[in-house]
Amino acid sequence: MSYLRIVLHHLAKDLKLEWRSRDAITGMLFFSLLVVVLFSFAFDPTAAVSRQIAGGILWVAILFASVTALNQTWTRELRNHVLDAQRMAPSPASALLMGKVLANFIFVTFIQIVLAPLFIVFYNLHALGQAWLLLLILPLGTWALVMNGTFFAALGLRTRNRELLLPLVLFPISIPALLAMVEATTGILTGDVDPVLWMKLLAGYCIIFTTVCVLLFETILAAE
Amino acid sequence: MPETTTTTLAASLTGVSKLYGSFAALRNVSVEIRAGTCVMVLGENGAGKSTLLRMLAGLIRPTMGTVQVLHSDADAECSRIGYMSHAPMLYDELTALENLLYFEGLYFPTACTPCSRNAERVLTAVGLDAKLARPVGDYSQGMRQRASLARAILSDPELLLLDEPFSNLDAAGAAQMVSLLAEFRTWPMRGDGKTSAQRTIILTTHQPQLAEALADTVITMHAGQIVNVTERAR
């Protein structure tokens, strides 16, 4: 209970900081909007083609946009050496990670909510499968991205080129999750493929990586 | 240094070295710091003062030797240590009170909600208006130093580590900081039955004249080594 309280305490702080600065949301929003609009102009897809490619475009847009926010997620902690003060506090290090993951999850979900209607309009989308399953795939996929992204952004904290390092590490490690997200989303949009298997794969990926990241975070944070 | 028993030691370093590649930030440092004293650490830039403080704070580990702080490893006792570095260790976007309430929530998570009374009390003690709505990023350097000190003493630490607390302060601000620290030493400890009754302050500075009134011991460092320890009669 105390752990959850600390996680929520970190979350509240991150939401407040974002509300004041709007650094992450603004960057993500403009980037993802640009990707969606540019792809629609570049391909000018018909409805049938849209259903085939929209899953990939959606998740690649979200992945790229997330990286802009994830790169900044620890910047605030490094500025003024706040991270040192957090390291000295007697609260669990993993609570800091989980607070940040939840905050990033909320930011990316907000972007998806803004993006969804635009996506439907620009790509003339109409799901032929069970559209309600998207309500499961989107949070699962988002969790997979932000969990790994927040963790690997922390891993690169003490490196000089951390903005470059994050995508270099995150993208390859996200390939299984990305594949599952795209296949499941495409399956729902086209109605050709059963998305459940891909969703199970995605859920398994989330469980494994969440456990590993939480267990390793204290070591990462204490590394000199 | 005079004979001391382990029960009266706030910190002790035995044969401590810290290497960064081939560069030795600390070289075979051994020192004992008595509880309840104020220790001033002097030395030129790069002498190892900040490394020493960060090690006592548990933020870095020695490459060789042992560090004991409050009778345990430094990182095990970090909740009983207050640390103020060159940087304010506060969020620029939040007000001083919001910053302190955040850290209070990390230090005392069992409380239903962080008690704003303690944070306000500490801010008032360092001479800041707790109701100030400006974010810390808009503060003057002196105000940031005070807010940083407020964060360091928020958890009622037994050992307070201050890395150049007078830098960027004018004469009046520095004098105020000194009197704040003198007052802090007299504050009653939070009664948890575990802590001793004496507060210890270790500070580094390039302006020894400012902390003269406070210091019981003066340690001089050069090139990662302690070259002189002087006990001062007060």
CB A81 within 8 A of CB B83: no
Phi and psi of B41, rounded to 5°? -105, 120
Mind listing the pLDDT tens digit for each residue in A150-177?
A: 999 998 887 888 888 899 999 999 999 9
Burial of B77 (0-12, 13-18, 19+ CB in 10 A): buried
Distances (CA, A) of A46 to A38, A39, A40, A54: 15, 13, 10, 11
* Percentage above 70 pLDDT, chain A: 100
Contact B90 A89 (CB under 8 A): no
Q: Does A44 touch chain B (CB under 8 A)?
A: no
Mind listing the pLDDT tens digit for each residue in A65-118?
A: 899 889 888 988 988 999 999 999 989 999 999 999 999 999 999 999 998 888
Burial of A224 (0-12, 13-18, 19+ CB in 10 A): exposed
Q: Does B197 touch chain A (CB under 8 A)?
A: no
Distances (CA, A) of B106 to A8, B18, B103: 11, 30, 5
Q: Which of B84, B74, B61, B31 is nearest to B218 (CA)?
A: B31
Q: Between B59, B98, B105, which is nearest A87 by CB?
A: B59
Burial of A88 (0-12, 13-18, 19+ CB in 10 A): buried
Q: Kindly list the residues from chain A whose CB atom is less than 8 angstroms away from the CB atom of residue B151.
A: 85
pLDDT of res. B91 = 95
Only one residue has tokens 């007052």, namely: B183
> Which one of A76, A80, A94 makes the best mutation probe of the B interface by having the most chain B beta carbons within 10 Å?
A80
Q: What gap in Å lies between CA B32 and CA B219, rounded to an integer?
A: 11
Q: Reduced to 3 states, what is the DSSP secondary structure of residue A48? A: helix
Measured N-to-C along each axis, helices B141-153 and B171-186 cross at an angle, to the nearest 10 degrees, of 10
In a structure prediction context, what are the per-residue pLDDT tens digits for chain B, which is 234 residues long?
A: 444 444 588 999 999 999 998 999 999 999 999 999 999 999 999 999 999 999 999 999 999 999 999 887 766 677 789 999 989 999 999 999 999 999 999 988 766 555 667 889 899 988 888 788 899 999 988 899 999 999 999 988 999 999 999 887 888 888 888 988 998 888 877 655 454 458 999 999 998 898 888 899 999 999 999 999 998 876
Q: Which domains, ranges and CATH numbers included, belong to chain B?
A: 9-90+158-231 (3.40.50.300)
Beta partners for B13? B31, B67
Distances (CA, A) of B172 to B34, B122, B164, B175: 30, 20, 16, 5
ipTM of the complex: 0.87
Q: Reduced to 3 states, what is the DSSP secondary structure of residue B93? A: coil
Q: Which of A94, A92, A106, A100 is nearest to A74 (CA)?
A: A100
